[in-house]
Amino acid sequence: METAKYPLPMTKRELEERGIGRPDFILVSGDAYIDHPSFGTAIIGRILERAGFSVAVIAQPNWKSLDDFTALGEPRLGFLVNAGNVDSMVANYTVAKRKRDYDYYSPGGKAGRRPDRAVIVYCQKIREAYGDIPIVIGGIEASLRRFAHYDYWQGKIRRSILVDSGADLLSYGMGERSLLRIAELLDRGIPVRKIRDVAGTVIFAESEYKPKGAYIALPSYHKVAADKEKYAASFKMQYQNCDAVGGKILVEAYDEGILVQNPPSAPLTTKELDDLASIPYTRKAHPIYGKDGIPALEEVEFSITHNRGCFGGCAFCAIAYHQGRAVTSRSMESVLEEVEYLTTLPDFKGYIHDIGGPTANFRQGPCKAVAEGKKGVCANRRCLTPTPCPNLLVDHSEYIELLRRAAAVKGVKKVFVRSGIRHDYVMADKAHGGRFIEALAKRHVSGQLRAAPEHICPEVLHFMGKPSYEVYQRFVERFDAASKKAGLEQYVVPYLMSSHPGSTMQSAEKMARYMQQHKLKSDQVQDFYPTPGTAATVMYWSGLDPFTGKKVYVATSPEEKKAQRALLGKPAMAMKKKSVPVKPRRKGANAKRKRK
């Protein structure tokens, strides 16, 4: 593993210095450009570069003029547009719909560097500057808004972002395969409007277009916009076809044409993930930012992503809709090679901040048939809840060994696990779960282990897709015992959520009483945030569980949401003097730092 000599170019001068008269592609992003493998812009730019294409970056352009969009000239093959590592509306607004005053992905944390609905705005400016040039959109904002979707900030169903942006193609999910294929076809002279059947892409075609192969017709945009039951039913069909093995072509009709989602791209194999991890990066923010640090880099600079995908099934999380439920991991050798590489970096102080991913303690699965590619994930059940599937692969032995060997690398003082772990998955591992808890308590936690029971009430946990609270209690007891055995005073700090669909005032009051009774510390209580691409957001808008069609109670008024949040905050205030300050939740790349 080595360090790249230069970041991808962001100025004309850099293009000239590297002998690039006209870049093949220009990546436009709502985030500042950090050349690190935790950020989608860097990953896509580097894999295209390795494939022989020249790539430049326009990061956080001023959308009020064309100057930044034309500064590098017209690319030979097209523009690739993303909003950044999070949806631009989430980046710009709190759950209370107030403007944020801090941006994790901007220089110095300064807010206001990206527009609302960044993908749409950027595409409009590119069209204004260059007319009919190929535009491909991707990243989390495009991926989670690929169909008609509920928009919390406007309180209505919006059209697919592909339709509203006027882009030519949408790459959803993890875009390495689809974008490389698109680049190859464009380079061969294939017109972008004839690129119609690449896996992992969405196109908008004329009404007469017939997809190649069997397809599922979703309710039309007008039907889901007018009928909440149809909206919930449409999401269920989308969710059931997020798997590369069993996923079908999906079609959504509009007045102007039809939206066609091709089946998902196959997940990268272990060998392909290892190969991807070997690509050189500078691992720093672009020098154009000078001394202004990018806060997002601080959390991941000395962290390692070892897996992709998540079969956890949390209703409020979009990872399954974006990355898929099949889990693939890098080899132990690849991860250890990166650990050794990090020890050579000048700012390394001996601490690996994380070896994790969407869910840190998943290395395979969810089951043997899925892991071997023989079948797709089950469409009509969750892998872990309400109880773990009998076919679930549950084995922490390899992850324990990976952490042990990483900590033994010369120059490493300690390896932490800071990504979310599924405590129910740990408790389901009868052979190695206890050993994992002991290793976690003794070697991979610093004072606090952050866990996410989210709630205590069965009726709320059911809609969340979380295990019973008793499972969490047993995990805490095991962790406390392991900490005492190691001679360490450590705590499990719970993450809790208010106002999630299914939560009533009575539910919130019950949890508040329980927390006071058991003297639980809750430094972080998060109000449910309805974001695109999650089952919980469908529940919030429709009042229906999309998987069963049954009604769900939803706290939608600002007053009730505020009241539930306040109730859950009171125990934390009461225990404040005994609590240890907790850092904000991590916000990592490709949507992988979301809560488990």
- pLDDT value at 490 more than 70: yes
Run of H or E including 451: strand 448-454
3-state secondary structure 313-352: CCCCCCHHHHCCCCCEECCHHHHHHHHHHHCCCCCCCCEE
Question: According to CATH, where is 3.80.30.20 located in the chain?
Answer: 302-578
CB-count burial class (<10 Å; 0-12, 13-18, 19+) for 199: middle
Q: In angstroms, rounded to a whole number, what is the distance separating the alpha carbons of residues 52 and 58? A: 20
- pLDDT value at 493 more than 90: no
Q: In angstroms, rounded to a whole number, what is the distance separating the alpha carbons of residues 537 and 152? A: 9
pLDDT tens for residues 369-413?
898 888 889 988 899 999 999 999 999 999 999 999 999 999 999
Please state the rounded mean pLDDT for residues 526-539. 95
Supply the pTM of this predicted model. 0.92
Q: Which residue has the tokens 């991926």?
A: 143
Question: According to CATH, where is 3.40.50.2300 located in the chain?
Answer: 12-203
SS3 452: strand
Worst-scoring range by mean pLDDT, 196-205, 221-230, 585-594?
A: 585-594
pLDDT at 557: 86
**Strand stretches in 68-214, DSSP E:** 78-82, 135-137, 149-151, 156-158, 169-171, 201-205
Percent of the chain beyond pLDDT 70?
A: 95
Q: In angstroms, rounded to a whole number, what is the distance separating the alpha carbons of residues 143 and 322? A: 7
pLDDT at 379: 85
The model's confidence at residue 578, banded by pLDDT at 50, 70 and 90, is very low
SS3 130: helix
pLDDT at 413: 97
Please state the rounded mean pLDDT for residues 540-546. 97
Tell me the CATH class for 302-578: alpha beta
pLDDT at 562: 86
CB-count burial class (<10 Å; 0-12, 13-18, 19+) for 78: buried
Identity of the amino acid at 470: E
Six-digit token string for 153 = 């900030």
- pLDDT value at 258 more than 50: yes
- Cβ contacts of residue 196 below 8 Å, gap of 6+? 203, 205, 209, 260
Of 27, 42, 2, 3, the closest CA to residue 294 belongs to: 42
pLDDT at 380: 85
Q: In angstroms, rounded to a whole number, what is the distance separating the alpha carbons of residues 128 and 131? A: 6
Please state the rounded mean pLDDT for residues 298-307. 94
* CA distances in angstroms from 205 to 127, 165, 258, listed in the order given: 19, 15, 5
pLDDT tens for residues 201-241?
999 999 999 998 899 999 999 999 999 999 999 999 999 99
Please state the rounded mean pLDDT for residues 324-347. 96
SS3 382: coil
pLDDT tens for residues 112-161?
999 999 999 999 999 999 999 999 999 999 999 999 999 999 999 999 99
- Cβ contacts of residue 248 below 8 Å, gap of 6+? 214, 215, 216, 241, 263
Fold classified for 12-203:
Rossmann fold (3.40.50)
Please state the rounded mean pLDDT for residues 24-49. 97
- pLDDT value at 573 more than 50: no
